[in-house]
Structure 1
Amino acid sequence: MSVFLVEDEPSLMYVLEESIKTLGYAVVEKAEYLPDALERAKSVEFDVAMLDVNLHGQESFPLQTF
């Protein structure tokens, strides 16, 4: 299973990525800012996304359409 990880805290991003890998899944893309996440969601194939709701003050809800 491939995972798109969206998180704005670098240390938490690292912990989540390592946890996902430990479970046997692949993190195929990461993003820290909403504009980057929206652009990457268009160009990367993934099975599931793990989203932080608040990305530097912006809600990540627009990503739910992908």
Structure 2
Amino acid sequence: MQTARKTAANPTILLLEDDLLLAMDMEEFLASRGYDVVGPFGRVEDALDALETTRVDGAVLDLNLHGELSFPVIERLRCRNVPMIVCSGYAELPELKQKLAGLPLMPKPWSPQKLGRLLSEVFEAAER
């Protein structure tokens, strides 16, 4: 599993989530864990635009954004070896599960305990 690169500043996490209340809760949770959050973004295009100008150390991505799947963002992050966590209630569907192979998945509804565990496993392992 990939780990986030440790930097002198707080690690920067891209947040892609189309549900405004969930996005605000996740943003607050990530900030409380010491991350700088880019976003939250509710559209794939906005997240891709941000990746053109901002270096990120990791990402937390909703898979389905009002019917638009976030695979373009996932592929861009994979090409850059950026670790990510994918949030979805659809990740167990066979046609999607194969495309998400090897990525840490967090089912929805999300829980702070589950996200905290995944953050430790995915992003914070390099700091130990």
TM-score, structure 2 as length reference: 0.49
| Cα distance in 1, alignment partners of residues 61 and 26 from structure 2 | 11
- Which has more radius of gyration? 2
Aligned to 1:31: 41
Equivalent residue for 1:8?
Answer: 18
Ranges in structure 1 where 5+ consecutive residues have no aligned partner = none
Could you say which structure has the higher strand fraction? 1
Residue 56 of structure 1 aligns with which residue? 66
User: How many pairs were matched up?
Assistant: 66
> What's the RMSD between the two structures over aligned residues?
1.1
- Percent identity of equivalent pairs: 36
Looking at structure 2, the residues matched to 53 and 46 of structure 1 have their Cα atoms a distance apart, in angstroms, of 18
- Which 5+ residue runs of structure 2 have no aligned equivalent? 1-10, 78-128
The question of whether the paired residues in 1 share the 8 Å contact of 2:27 and 2:40 is answered with: no
- 2:94 equivalent in structure 1: none
Q: Hey, what does 2:56 align to over in structure 1?
A: 46
CA contact (8 A) 1:29 1:44 kept: no
